Structure 1
Amino acid sequence: MRVLHLLDHSLPLHSGYTFRTRAILKAQIARGWDVAAVTGPRHGDFAEPLEEVEGLRFYRTPVVPPAPAPLGEWREVNRFARRIRKVAREFQPDVLHAHSPVLNAMAGQRAANRLKLPFVYEIRAFWEDAAVGNGDGREGSMKYRATRALETRAVKKADAVAVICEGLRCDLIRRGIDPAKIFVSPNGVDLTLFGEPLPYDSGLAKTLGIEGAETIGFIGSFYDYEGLDVLIDAMPQLVAWRPNMHLVLVGGGPCEAALRAQAGASPVADRIHFIGRVPHHEVERYYSVVDVLVYPRKRMRLTDLVTPLKPLEAMAQMRLVAASDVGGHRELIRDGDTGTLFRPDDPRALARAVAGLFADRDHWEARRARGRAFVEAERNWSLNVGRYESVYQKLANIAPVKDSWTKGAVKA
């Protein structure tokens, strides 16, 4: 099986998007498949048109000069489609597999039509909802509706559609998409890369000023929808109930300056520690010094429909997890079993749930073990990747793949 993936961006950039991609590609290679990827113009600058990162091949597409919407996007799609066709003629895949956003699907579908190749479109989040979550859009606006229409059109044209969770699958079915063409490829953890938890790093804890403290934390990107302002607002109450409580925030993002200002004005500012971004290979050290990872996502379409990756990483690291009771978290966390859920957008509810966890230490080890077992059994990429196999095989067997290469009739 030869699969060409079509991506917005990739390693060496670090994001939840690139880490999921890395897990998929490595797991497919481990199954003996020949796998490569093409990144679109939004990946940015690159050193070589073909780069190898961590043993993975990434073909690059040149950046498109800025232009007003929708002209800029139209140019991006055209350039990406041409690059995909060129790479495909060299790589000769059995399947083209595009990953959201929808611009990638549009470029990939054009290439697939020209090359007579089967086309899979994988949605990690709806682009229109992601824009709202990032503060770049408004639900129900003309741009929102237009983007949603493009997404629906792309899904209808694809031969098969992968989604990362049931929330996205159900939304597509409500749009009239045939359920038979949709399959779920859930977020997971590559346990070969993010495997055994490290022992408590007392040296790091001492450096951070949290040695011997009760610690909660967040490791990830600082977007508004993550609700970190709610977490900071909860800290005075948490410290009142648990006087030895500290909050560790690892990462960065668009909201970092506002969150730092909010924390600086808090009456418990000395208990809130901003670490900044850390190299990915050091992340496990920070997991080792945090007792409870907290994910206070705000309630909106994005968080109700999409499952995050970070709670799974925390469970894999044998950390306790507390998260807001939104749809994306409910797909991952069984309240009172593998984690704790609390009412979203409510600092006091967050504080009450977290304080309750620290008052119940006798059950920590059992809960940690159940969280880890859940990841191993249901969210392990070495198992999850098998969901693609039957879909690829069915599509590759149906499509006249070999003819499209032997005829040599396709032009750039």
Structure 2
Amino acid sequence: MRGFARQVALGVTTATGMAAEDPALLAVQASRRAPRRATLAVAGLLDNGTGGRHADARRGLAAWLRGHRDDARAGVAAALAGRPASPVRRVLGEVAVELDVPLPPDAPRVTRARAAWRAGDVSGAVTLAQGTPLGRRLASEQRAMTPGTVLAGDRRARSTPAGPPVALHLLTNSLPHTSSGYTLRSHEVLRAQAAAGIEVAAATRLGYPVVVGRVTGRDVDVVDGIAYHRLLPWSAARTPGARLRQNVALARPLVRALRPTVLHTTTAWSNAVVTRALADEHGLPWVYEVRGVLEDTWAASFPTAEAQHAARASERHALLRARETELARAADHVVTLGETVRRDLVTRGVDPARITVVPNAVPGELLDLHVSSTAARARLGLSGEGFWVGTVSSLVDYEGIETLVEAVAVLRRRGADVRCAVVGDGTARASIARRAQSLGIADHVVLPGRVAPDEAVGWHLALDAFAVPRRDTAVTRAVVPLKPMQAMALGRPVVASDLPALAEIVGEPGTGLLAAPDDAQALADAIERLADDPALAGSLGEAGRAFAATRTWAAAGAAYRRLYEEVAA
């Protein structure tokens, strides 16, 4: 009961703090956390309103709640131009920031500050919000992300504990509350390390999972024997810098109790700042696992190429890149997922001798799983006919799933019986469904939503080819995704965008076909080659299985053990 009371108190104080900073922002954030059925119900109520002054506002907000981002941008822009009443205007302003819609010049100062921050103008945002609770928060975050800023604390001399490695992982989030590529890799790494004889435990960031709306969790979640410790205060500090110090304070007793020989953390920089402070305090080595390029992932979230280019030229992009570089150079060792990111870190000045590539891998048991796609589809209630192509992924814009849907439409116009399954959820799901509808192929595109990790294997097996149609952005050129490795282990050929990170696992080992990114015709041609040539599809699938056999989690666990023993010595 005490733990539950603490989580409720944390949730209340977090919401209260947001309300004090800006009630309109709290309303927007709450709508993002609400169950999908609830947001759709609210959207329906907005649509049922009569005409009048706020018709554009209702239309824009309803589209936003449904995930129809293009319609939402148009509606919100029209509503703001109509100068709605103040409370409506505040909410519309916050939604406009989320959608990258330009604000009117007379928008509230805090809203303009948030828009400036979103656009990457860090100093401008801090200046605009000066003297407000938001201003204090932004100024604190600016200081925290600036290279050279460290959390104050004593530094102890390094020690070399005897015995097998003991690793404490400091993570952003985890199973069972969040299912994503990040949490799945974290979990597989922890399981692999445990199997390799490493004693492991993990702790998630301050306030998680309460900060994502889960107020009934436990202080420790145990998943497949892996303990995930929660760092849950009665209330969170009000500024980002103070929360980082609070994070260190709450993790400190865990470090003392578990007595690790190494601390291990992952992107982003805030995790690394906390881990570095704990390592200095306890005389421990620390490993930074750079799983992506944070600043480029942020830039890729903008809706147009022009906006992405502006983001990459912004102050925020430069600060994030410099901060990530500083921390990678400060770590005792760096782990990356692929050669593209490794080469980038070397150009930033990270010693190549302190970088180890531990790629995304597969459970060894998948390599021995031989199930035909028609049999797998029967288990899912899908048609055994046609050639099925699809993906299991987070549905965000840079994954390029709309290009895949367009390629399927091209093939069906050619007379080919090609069908599609897109498994997962995210901000782009609604637009993917609408695109399939507009192309007249909604009956041939299955969107089952997010599924549990053990169910995802069945969907991989149901496909005749696995697609990775990523758009050409800085982040997709660098970051190697996890899901195609599972498809390879199951003997499914891959068709992917011709980007460096994907060529590394598809083109070079010959596990599938590459097509020009953002080109539905080129993607359709590649899929058609596989559909028309079963022998080719089969040989690529077997090449994929052979390649995946070189990248198992058992091998990754052994690599981590060697790495930990080296840094401890």
TM-score (norm: length of structure 2): 0.65
User: Shift in Å at residue 219 of structure 1?
Assistant: 1.1
Take 1:42 and 1:241, find their aligned partners in 2: how far apart are those partners?
53
Alignment match, 2:255: 88
Take 1:205 and 1:246, find their aligned partners in 2: how far apart are those partners?
15
Residues 336/204 of structure 1: CA separation in 2 closer, same or farther (3 Å cut): same
Bigger relative CO (Cα 8 Å, ≥ 6 apart): 1
Structure richer in helix, relative to its length: 2
Greater C-alpha Rg: 2
Q: Deviations over 1:364-403 (max 9, x none)?
A: 32222111011012x1111122222332112212xxxxxx
Describe the SS at the equivalent of 1:57: strand
Alignment match, 2:414: 241
Residues 206/15 of structure 1: CA separation in 2 closer, same or farther (3 Å cut): closer
**Residue 59 in 1 paired to residue 229 in 2?**
yes
**Residue 225 in 1 paired to residue 398 in 2?**
yes
Residues 203/127 of structure 1: CA separation in 2 closer, same or farther (3 Å cut): closer
Alignment match, 2:561: 389
Structure richer in strand, relative to its length: 1
Deviates more, 1:154-163 or 1:238-247: 238-247
Alignment match, 1:102: 269
- Contact 1:120–1:160 (8 Å) recurs in 2: yes
Q: Segments of 4+ in structure 1 off by > 6 A?
A: none
1:10-409 matched pairs, under 5 angstroms: 10-12=174-176, 13-41=178-206, 43-45=208-210, 47-62=217-232, 65=236, 71-72=239-240, 74-135=241-302, 138-192=311-365, 196-200=369-373, 202=375, 204-205=377-378, 209-334=382-507, 337-377=510-550, 379-397=551-569
Residues 25/148 of structure 1: CA separation in 2 closer, same or farther (3 Å cut): same
Residues 206/265 of structure 1: CA separation in 2 closer, same or farther (3 Å cut): farther
Q: Deviations over 1:29-68 (max 9, x none)?
A: 112221111111263226222221111011111277595x
User: Shift in Å at residue 268 of structure 1?
Assistant: 2.6
Matched AA of 2:269: V
Matched AA of 2:252: R
Q: Deviations over 1:14-36 (max 9, x none)?
A: 11111111111111111222111
Take 1:110 and 1:339, find their aligned partners in 2: how far apart are those partners?
44
Q: Deviations over 1:81-106 (max 9, x none)?
A: 22222211000000011111111001
Instruction: Report the number of matched residues.
Output: 392
Describe the SS at the equivalent of 1:248: strand
Alignment match, 1:3: 167
TM-score (norm: length of structure 1): 0.89
Q: Deviations over 1:171-226 (max 9, x none)?
A: 11111222121111111112247862444464844865532121111111101110
- Contact 2:292–2:341 (8 Å) recurs in 1: yes
Residues 317/76 of structure 1: CA separation in 2 closer, same or farther (3 Å cut): farther
Residues 334/106 of structure 1: CA separation in 2 closer, same or farther (3 Å cut): same
Residues 42/123 of structure 1: CA separation in 2 closer, same or farther (3 Å cut): farther
Take 1:157 and 1:213, find their aligned partners in 2: how far apart are those partners?
53
- Contact 2:340–2:479 (8 Å) recurs in 1: yes
User: Shift in Å at residue 130 of structure 1?
Assistant: 1.7
- Contact 2:491–2:545 (8 Å) recurs in 1: yes
Take 1:206 and 1:184, find their aligned partners in 2: how far apart are those partners?
37
Alignment match, 1:404: none
Describe the SS at the equivalent of 2:312: coil
- Contact 1:287–1:314 (8 Å) recurs in 2: yes
Q: Between the two proteins, what is the percent identity of the paired residues?
A: 32
Take 2:368 and 2:300, find their aligned partners in 1: how far apart are those partners?
31
